[in-house]
Amino acid sequence: MIARTLTAAALLTAVPASAFDSPARPEVRIHNMAEYLEAVVDDRRGVYIRGYTGQWYYARTGHDCPRLRRGARLRFEPSPGGGFDRRSSLRADGWRCLIASVVESDEPPRRR
């Protein structure tokens, strides 16, 4: 009995902790970026984007983007294929921010 318990414990500790985490969302490409409906800034880290279909996306920047804040003027610069993905960038009040990833998302958290 003790041997079985020790064997089960050894097997559980051998499994990496990340195996129990929910799977990461896959990278996506936003088509028709010219027709996005809404963008909500996640201060200095990224932007929630609602596409014309109503689907929300989250575009995370590759580095800290100091001018990326609520109220900033945003301009989305698509990748060479014309969509918005991890090869794209955005301008926040003229400051260029490279995009590290774009994934489907839930709507942005409500502000208090």
Residue 51 has φ and ψ, to the nearest 5°, of: -80, 170
**Per-residue pLDDT, 24:** 79
In a domain, 61, yes or no: yes
In a domain, 20, yes or no: no
In a domain, 6, yes or no: no
17-76 per-position pLDDT tens digit: 433 334 578 999 998 787 788 999 998 799 999 998 899 999 999 998 999 999 999 999
Cα dihedral value 27, 30, 36, 42, nearest 10: 20
Give me the domain span that covers residue 95: 27-105
* Tokens encoding 72: 């900033």
CB-facing half-sphere around the CA of 76: CA atoms within 13 A: 28
In a domain, 38, yes or no: yes
Q: pTM for the whole thing?
A: 0.75
In a domain, 99, yes or no: yes
d(CA 97, CA 19): 32
91-111 per-position pLDDT tens digit: 999 999 999 999 999 999 887
Domain count for the chain, please give it: 1
**Per-residue pLDDT, 112:** 65
